[in-house]
């Protein structure tokens, strides 16, 4: 007999009440279980780093945990140091800074604490620039290859990643359940308000060390940013190299029921069509997303957000126009934007930073934090050749 549509069956049940019928057997998925717990650290105030070991190789490797990655990858210098030989493929890897032909290491296994994840195909990329920018050797990026197999719980209060088996799960109280579209990357709708309000789709990208990033096409077509809003040139980094963009802010951003005010944002020229505009307006990065403990349940197409102790952490609005790199144990000015405060102060690319304000401990992370949190002025002591120079730097603000 042909099955009736559910809506029709429900109509019959309303018209002709019958005795309650209960199935003799009902399949219930086994509950999700924690397989391992991996501690993590944050670099650049927001990027999640976890350690792992390739099975058969002794070295502990450092990976970025990244929902914006459609697979899993290893740094080319790490591959060489381990004596591995990748195979050239016909697959192109696309990032915000370019497109390149991919090389792969096939059928590898990765041990994360007590869990061995097997049958992994690592694509090989050059992450030297990430190591410079984050001040720590980056050996790879872990993305969809892990998120698609397990339920991943990220707790920023405890600095822990729980890797759990797929199965029935009860979410904690006090949060909100998002239902993203997931092919390999999670995509969610959100509303941005400045000159006007616009709802668009965004990539949910915990591997991006920024709050928001909009494509230039979306910015110009929607005209949601105030014309008089301050915009400062900036240089960012992605797969393929460096990328020029603008730094600005938006008045409000709303994700589900959560609203954030005066959010720093980047606007970039999407020359390689990473956002497939108008499909995506841009991405939401981890400067914003770290404010939630998150549960990623790709099998059920669910992301659960629960505000954490970082939820009300202030955003940073200072602008210097320079980028610090950590190279061979020294903090070096790696890039300077022409016409920026750093450029006008007389700082030069290659200057070695000895101190910023009263911080003279050579701590790369602390130096970057001082620049991010500074209000108006800082004082740098730099080494240039045989000279030691004291240079005042007047910063700009997005506000």
Residue 238: per-residue pLDDT = 59
The residue assigned the tokens 């016409």 is 339
Options 2.40.420.20, 3.40.630.30, 1.10.357.10, 2.40.70.10; CATH for 34-164 is: 2.40.70.10
How much is the mean pLDDT over the chain?
90
Does pLDDT of 23 surpass 80?
no
Does pLDDT of 25 surpass 70?
no
- List pLDDT tens digits, range 265-317: 999 998 888 899 999 999 999 999 999 999 999 999 999 999 999 999 999 99
Does pLDDT of 47 surpass 90?
yes
- Name which of 105-109, 232-236, 283-287, 312-316 the model is least confident about: 232-236
Residue 272: per-residue pLDDT = 81
Please choose, from the candidates 160, 152, 250, the residue with its C-alpha nearest in 3D space to the C-alpha of residue 210.
Answer: 250
Residue 97: per-residue pLDDT = 53
Q: Report domain 182-288's class.
A: mainly beta
Count of CB atoms within 10 A of residue 3's CB? 7
Does pLDDT of 11 surpass 50?
no
- List pLDDT tens digits, range 160-218: 999 999 999 999 999 999 999 999 999 999 999 999 999 999 999 999 999 999 999 99
Total residue count of the chain as it appears in this document: 399
- List pLDDT tens digits, range 113-141: 999 999 999 999 999 989 999 999 999 99
Mean pLDDT over 1-30 rounds to 49
Residue 88: per-residue pLDDT = 86
Residue 141: per-residue pLDDT = 97
pTM over 0.85: yes
Answer for the pair 189, 200: CB distance below 8 angstroms, yes or no.
Answer: yes
Does pLDDT of 239 surpass 70?
no
Q: Same CATH topology for 34-164 and 182-288? A: yes
The residue assigned the tokens 């910063």 is 395
* CATH fold of 318-397: Pdz3 Domain (2.30.42)
Burial class for 106, CB neighbours closer than 10 Å (0-12, 13-18, 19+): exposed
Report residue 21's pLDDT band, with 50, 70 and 90 as the boundaries: low
Domain ranges of the chain: 34-164, 182-288, 318-397
Residue 323: per-residue pLDDT = 93
Does pLDDT of 10 surpass 50?
no
DSSP H helices, the chain, are 6-15, 76-81, 128-134, 144-147, 216-222, 286-289, 341-345, 364-373
Residue 91: per-residue pLDDT = 74
Q: Which residue has the higher pLDDT, 93 or 390?
A: 390
Mean pLDDT over 316-338 rounds to 95
Residue 293: per-residue pLDDT = 98
- Name which of 14-23, 146-155, 263-272 the model is least confident about: 14-23
The rounded distance, in Å, linking the Cα atoms of 366 and 380 is 13
Query: Checking DSSP bridges between strand 151-155 and strand 140-142, what pairing results, if any?
Result: unpaired
Please choose, from the candidates 298, 272, 117, the residue with its C-alpha nearest in 3D space to the C-alpha of residue 204.
Answer: 298
Tokens (6 digits) for 87: 């195979």
CA angle 109, 125, 243 (to 5 degrees): 140
Answer for the pair 67, 188: CB distance below 8 angstroms, yes or no.
Answer: no
Q: Which residue has the higher pLDDT, 235 or 277?
A: 277
**CA 353, 358, 363, 368 torsion: positive or negative?**
negative
Does pLDDT of 336 surpass 50?
yes
Residue 24: per-residue pLDDT = 59
């Amino acid at each position: 007999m042909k099955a009736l549509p559910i809506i029709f069956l429900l109509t019959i049940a309303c018209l002709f009440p019958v005795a309650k019928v209960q199935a003799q057997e009902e399949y219930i998925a086994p509950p999700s279980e924690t397989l391992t717990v991996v501690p993590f650290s944050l670099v650049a105030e927001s990027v999640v780093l976890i350690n792992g070991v390739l099975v058969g190789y002794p070295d502990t490797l450092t990976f970025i945990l990244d929902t914006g990655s459609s697979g899993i990858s290893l740094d080319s210098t790490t591959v060489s140091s381990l004596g591995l030989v990748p195979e050239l493929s016909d697959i192109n890897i696309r990032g915000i800074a370019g497109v390149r032909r991919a090389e792969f290491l096939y059928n590898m296994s990765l041990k994360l604490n007590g869990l061995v994840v097997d049958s992994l195909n690592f694509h090989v990329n050059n992450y030297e620039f990430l190591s410079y920018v984050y001040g720590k050797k980056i050996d790879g990026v872990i993305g969809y290859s892990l998120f698609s197999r397990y339920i991943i719980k990220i707790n920023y209060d405890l600095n822990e990643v729980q890797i759990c088996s797929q199965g029935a799960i009860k979410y904690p109280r006090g949060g909100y359940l998002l239902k993203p579209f997931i092919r390999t990357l999670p995509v969610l709708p959100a509303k941005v308000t400045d000159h006007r309000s616009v709802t668009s789709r965004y990539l949910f990208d915990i591997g991006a060390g920024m709050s928001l990033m909009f494509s230039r096409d979306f910015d110009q077509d929607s005209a949601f940013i105030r014309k008089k809003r301050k915009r400062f040139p900036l240089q960012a980094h992605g797969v393929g190299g460096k990328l020029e963009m603008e730094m600005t802010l938006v008045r409000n951003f709303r994700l589900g029921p959560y609203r954030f005010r005066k959010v720093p944002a980047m606007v970039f020229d999407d020359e390689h069509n990473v956002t497939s505009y108008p499909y995506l307006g841009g991405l939401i990065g981890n400067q914003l997303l770290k404010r939630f403990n998150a549960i990623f349940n790709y099998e059920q197409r669910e992301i659960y957000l629960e505000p954490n102790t970082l939820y009300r952490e202030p955003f940073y609005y200072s602008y210097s126009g320079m980028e610090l790199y950590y190279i061979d144990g020294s903090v070096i000015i790696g890039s300077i934007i022409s016409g920026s405060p750093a450029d006008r102060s007389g700082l030069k690319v290659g200057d070695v930073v000895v101190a910023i304000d009263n911080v003279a401990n050579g701590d790369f992370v602390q130096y970057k934090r001082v620049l991010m949190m500074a209000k108006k002025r800082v004082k740098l002591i730099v080494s240039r050749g045989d000279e030691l120079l004291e240079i005042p730097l007047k910063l700009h603000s997005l506000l």
